[in-house]
Amino acid sequence: MKKIELITFKGCQTAIDLGRQMTELIQTENLDAEIETIVVPSLEKAEEMGLHGSPTILVDGEEYQKQPFAQAGFY
């Protein structure tokens, strides 16, 4: 089973919409995956975690579409 983590900040509409779309896709295509939404409480925590935007998607612990030269933190 694929583990998908959707990491975001509270109220991020893009993450809300993406979470719905991903859930629908997993159900429609009968994929062996689960989504966990993680809400990061602050910019400082996002920087500490090395995140590069909201939402950030991890698939089995690896960042999907990582921007290696971007400064960490939500933008």
Domain spans in the chain, listed from the N-terminal domain onward:
2-63
What's the confidence (pLDDT) of residue 49?
A: 86
pTM for this model (two decimals):
0.80
What's the confidence (pLDDT) of residue 24?
A: 97
Fold of 2-63: Glutaredoxin (3.40.30)
In 10-74, which ranges are E strands? Answer: 33-39, 56-59, 62-63
**Are the C-beta atoms of residues 14 and 75 closer than 8 Å to each other?**
no
Segment 3-52, tens digit of pLDDT: 999 999 999 999 999 999 999 999 999 999 999 999 999 988 988 888 87
Sign of CA pseudo-dihedral 29, 53, 66, 41: negative
Instruction: Give residue 72's pLDDT band: very low, low, confident or very high (50, 70, 90).
Output: low
Per the structure block, which two tokens stand in for 66?
A: 């990582």
Per the structure block, which two tokens stand in for 37?
A: 């939404």
Please state the separation of Cα 16 from the chain's center in Å.
10
Instruction: Give residue 65's pLDDT band: very low, low, confident or very high (50, 70, 90).
Output: confident
